[in-house]
Amino acid sequence: MYRDLVLNVALLVALSASYNLLERLRFPQDSVKRVLGGLLFGFVTVVGMQLPFHYAPGLIFDGRSIILSLAGLFGGPVTGAVAAAMAAAYRFHLGGVGAWTGIGVITTSAQAGMVWHRRMKGRPEEVGASSLFLLGLAVHVLMLLWMLTLPWPMGLGVLKQIGLPVLLIYPPATVLLGQLLAMEARRRLSEEALRRNMELLQKTQSIARIGSWEYDVETRSLTWSPEVSRLFGVDPDTPPSYELFLQCVHPDDRGRVDRAYMESVRQGKDGYEIEHRIVGPKDGRIRTVFEKCEHVRRTDGSIVRSVGFVQDVTERRVAEEELRERESTLKSIFRAAPVGIGMVKNRVIHEANEQLCRMTGCSRYELLGRSARIFYPSDEEFEFVGREMYRQIAQKGMGTVETRWRRKDGRILEILLSSCPIDPQDLSHGVTFTALDITERVRVERALRESEEKFAKAFRSAPLLMSITRLEDALVLDVNDTYCEVTGYSREEMIGRTTLEIGLWRDPSDRRRLLKQLRTRGRVTNLDLDLRMKNGEISHMLFSCELVVLQGTQCLISVGMDITERVRAERALKELAAELELRVAQRIAQLTEANKELEAFVFSVSHDLRAPLRAISGFAEIIARRHREALNEEGRRYFDHILEASERMGNLISDLLNYSRLGRKALAWEAVQVESFVEDVLQPYEETMRSGETELVLDLEVSSLWADRALLRQILSNLVDNALKYRREDSGHRVRIACRVEGNEAVLMVSDNGIGIDPVHHERIFNIFQRLHPRTAYAGTGIGLALVKKAVSLLGGTIRLASEPGNGTEFEIRWPLPEEGKRE
């Protein structure tokens, strides 16, 4: 009996242990576990039914009611039903008088357990002893009631006999077994919760990159969570140690980290915080970690252990660094930006960069805290910009408006304003804006527009042919009215076609010529071109071209002038000039001929006159000498007149002969030795000079001069003759002869301080027979200066006269030196 009891108890403990084992196992579906649980409970019930208490043959009592009720309570409906089914089947198999009563007990016990399961709301492990006792009581009261179903009076007998012991033993037994199962279940659940918490902790540490560690001061042992190994990059199987930890710390930080721990212990602090670098022993990667440590103390204050966590803050530090860099970049952009940048919140200026201050002419102090109205010249403008910005920001998230601002000094600026909200969802956080001063741009654009207009007008109405063609293929892009008028083509006929297609070039190679000039000189000026008009006529044009780039295409602006008429006129003029030249040449030839004839006539007349004159004067002399005495006074006087007149005539004839001889011979250039030459020329006047009446000044700067000796003699002797002759009686007479070389010219000067010549006669005295005085005052033939002039012109030189009455006379002769004369 006791043995059975012990066996029963052992069975129940085994049940408890194996049920808990089953509960720990994981199954893909919970129902499988519930069925298996039912089978386990059923199996134990069946085994328990092998060791029953036999009340009467076929009437057995055992612990099935307890087990099945607990199967229903702990396993729920499925477990309870499966266990009950097994037990019922076995009881049915055993048979006997109490079989149906037994099956009833089996069913109600399992059902009672299920009711309790429901009452516990699926958390049977929380069932208390009193509740278990109630369950045991209920199950076994039901069991005793079932006894009444036994054949009468057996049921009553059974009830009487086992009623009390059953009610005394079975409910506490239910409590005991229930408590055992509940305890096991609770332990299992708390173990599971612990495991889950640990998992969660590790997961959390890995996500947060936080590892925890603990250092036992007494045993000097260090433990750390797997995340620490991961963080430090050490093998998870390597046992942690303080030395291993220090090894992982960056060499530069190692001393500091070691000191931090030691000092916190020594100084009796509760803990410490430190940030340092670590170097992965395998990959050498440097990371930054944050450590926090706290010491756990005994009541006496001594440290038992230190706990702490280590957190990887590399990303945060990098992010912070990036953030700092970005912030400083933004700040420098803000400061140095060449556009005005500012921030406005509720229409009040909250930020303004230097450029904004420069633009507005206000200091930062003057802008911050003021209404943005300060920027605008009028309320209307301010309101307009506000409205427009609001509209655009609502539509596109940002806005751009061209507006006008007024500087502090009153100057109006053209501004391109762009604005963007700080928080697009909530404009009350304010907007940032950039302001670009486009005053100059607007002005330039306006000027450009005006100049374009001017150009377009000039282009259209210019009286010259103007065209714009594409450089690469001479495609006509535009032509002006004059172009159309002159060529006869309409604009539509030309634009979109090349000048070659239109057939404008008489000779298409002219275009190549034009392009060549354009390449070498960069432009074409006044190029002669022949163009074919629409009616087939050829016109002469003068074209100038310049290269321009229009919308990225190289183009040619050409300006042309129709010079057909001019060319015709020039041609006619040329022909006329040639004809005239021919006529002039003919006339000159005739004149030269006539001149020659005249000179020949003068020469022959003078020559021929000489003989009769010589006869007249010869005979007159003989008469005067031999028959003078036979003549009376009057006759003698007449004879003297004859002699005098014939002498004069002789002089005249020899002068005329001289004049006409001059130039008959070719020029004979030679270097004339000046000094001896002058001496030679002055020789006939030697006596006059010596008498002291005339002072002679010679200013000969050169020793020799290139000239035709005979011509030079004519010039000098005639000038000297006149200088000596036309003296003033009232003062001392002075004659100066000077010569020099000036550049390529020889200069000869003869001057005197004689009576001088009235400027009105300066021209005419060079003509033949022109005299200013009667013969009685000054002798002469009036041919001298004409001779000088002719000789000078034969030398290719010029003569200049400077003289005034009473102030003397100066003749200056200049003639170009021949090549050999220049070299000397």
Contact footprint for ligand ADP (CB under 6 A): 722-723, 726, 752, 754-755, 757, 765, 770-773, 780-785, 809
Task: Find out whether 748 and 736 touch, Cβ atoms under 8 Å.
Answer: no
The distance of closest approach from Cβ of residue 570 to ligand ADP in the complex, given in angstroms and rounded to an integer, is 48
* Sign of the torsion angle spanned by Cα atoms 292, 298, 302, 304: negative
User: Nearer Cβ to ligand ADP, position 746 or 755?
Assistant: 755
Cβ distance to ligand ADP smaller for residue 265 or 772: 772
Report the residue number, 517 or 793, with the smaller CB distance to ligand ADP.
Answer: 793
Tell me whether residue 736 or residue 822 sits nearer to ligand ADP (CB atom): 736
* Pairing mode of beta strands 745-752, 809-816: antiparallel
Q: How far apart, in whole angstroms, are the C-alpha atoms of residue 698 and residue 734?
A: 11
Q: Please, what is the minimum distance in Å from the beta carbon of residue 653 to ligand ADP?
A: 14
Give the residue at shortest CB distance from ligand ADP. 780
Nearer Cβ to ligand ADP, position 469 or 660? Answer: 660
539 strand-pairing partners: 531
Q: Which lies closer to ligand ADP via its Cβ, residue 189 or residue 768?
A: 768
Backbone angles phi, psi at 433, to 5 degrees: -145, 155
Minimum Å distance from CB 791 to ligand ADP? 13
| CB nearer to ligand ADP: pick between 225 and 722 | 722
61 Cβ neighbours under 8 A, 6+ residues apart: 52, 53, 55, 162, 166
Q: Which is nearer to ligand ADP, 120 or 788 (CB)?
A: 788
User: Are 45 and 68 spatial neighbours (Cβ–Cβ below 8 Å)?
Assistant: yes
Q: Which is nearer to ligand ADP, 382 or 726 (CB)?
A: 726
Judged by beta carbon, residue 557 or residue 757, the one nearer ligand ADP is 757
Helix 633-661 crosses helix 784-795 at what angle (to 10 degrees)? Answer: 10
Q: Up-side HSE of residue 263: CA atoms within 13 Å toward CB?
A: 9
Shortest separation between residue 713's beta carbon and ligand ADP, angstroms? 15
Question: In whole angstroms, how close is the CB of 685 to ligand ADP at the nearest point?
Answer: 14
| Cα distances (angstroms) measured from residue 203 to each of 197, 208, 316, 576 | 10, 8, 20, 116
Shortest Å distance, C-beta 777 to ligand ADP: 9
The pair of three-digit structure tokens given for residue 280, joined into one six-digit string: 């992965």
Nearest CB to ligand ADP, comparing residues 62 and 752: 752
Spacing of C-alpha 23 from chain mean position? 76
Give Cα 235 distance to the centre of its chain: 55
DSSP letters along 511-567, please? Answer: HHHHHHHHHHHSEEEEEEEEEE-TTS-EEEEEEEEEEEEETTEEEEEEEEEE-HHHH
What are the respective helix, strand and coil percentages of the chain, to the nearest 5?
55, 20, 20
CB of 712 to ligand ADP, least distance (A): 17
User: Minimum CB separation from ligand ADP for residue 776, in Å?
Assistant: 12
Q: What is the DSSP letter of 379?
A: H
- What is the phi/psi pair of residue 52, to 5°? -90, 175
Q: How many CB atoms lie within 10 A of CB 549?
A: 9
Q: How far is the CB of 680 from ligand ADP (least distance, A)?
A: 20
Q: How far is the CB of 706 from ligand ADP (least distance, A)?
A: 26
Which bin fits 536, alpha (ψ -120 to 50), beta or left (φ > 0)? left
For the bound state, the minimum distance from the C-beta of residue 657 to ligand ADP, rounded and expressed in Å, comes to 15
Identify which of residues 331 and 764 has a Cβ nearer to ligand ADP in the complex: 764
CB of 621 to ligand ADP, least distance (A): 25
Q: Which residue has the tokens 């074209």?
A: 543
Q: Residue 798 Cβ, how far from ligand ADP at the closest point, in Å?
A: 18
Least Cα distance to 139 among 38, 215, 71 occurs for 71
Question: Closer to ligand ADP at the Cβ: 782 or 818?
Answer: 782
Q: How many CA atoms lie within 13 A of 468 on its CB side?
A: 14
Which C-beta is closer to ligand ADP: that of 105 or that of 723? 723
First to last CA, the chain: 173
Q: What φ, ψ does residue 525 adopt, rounded to 5°? A: -125, 130
Quick check: 811 and 801 in contact, CB under 8 A? yes
Which one, 312 or 752, has the nearer CB to ligand ADP?
A: 752
Distance between CA atoms of 69 and 67, rounded to whole angstroms? 6
**Cα dihedral across residues 60, 61, 66, 69: positive or negative:** positive
Q: Cβ 719 to ligand ADP, closest distance in Å? A: 7
From the CB of 809, what's the least distance to ligand ADP, in Å?
A: 4
Scored b (16 or more CB within 10 A) or e, 258-270 reads eebbeebeeeeee
Shortest Cβ distance from residue 667 to ligand ADP (Å)? 23
Strands 745-752 and 694-700: unpaired
Of residues 233 and 782, the one with the C-beta less far from ligand ADP? 782
State the maximum Cα–Cα separation within the chain, in Å, rounded to a whole number.
245
By the 10 Å C-beta count (0-12 exposed, 13-18 middle, 19+ buried), 726 is classed as buried
CB nearer to ligand ADP: pick between 173 and 739: 739
Q: How far is the CB of 602 from ligand ADP (least distance, A)?
A: 17
- CA atoms of 244 and 279, how far apart (whole Å): 12
Place of tokens 């001298």: 784
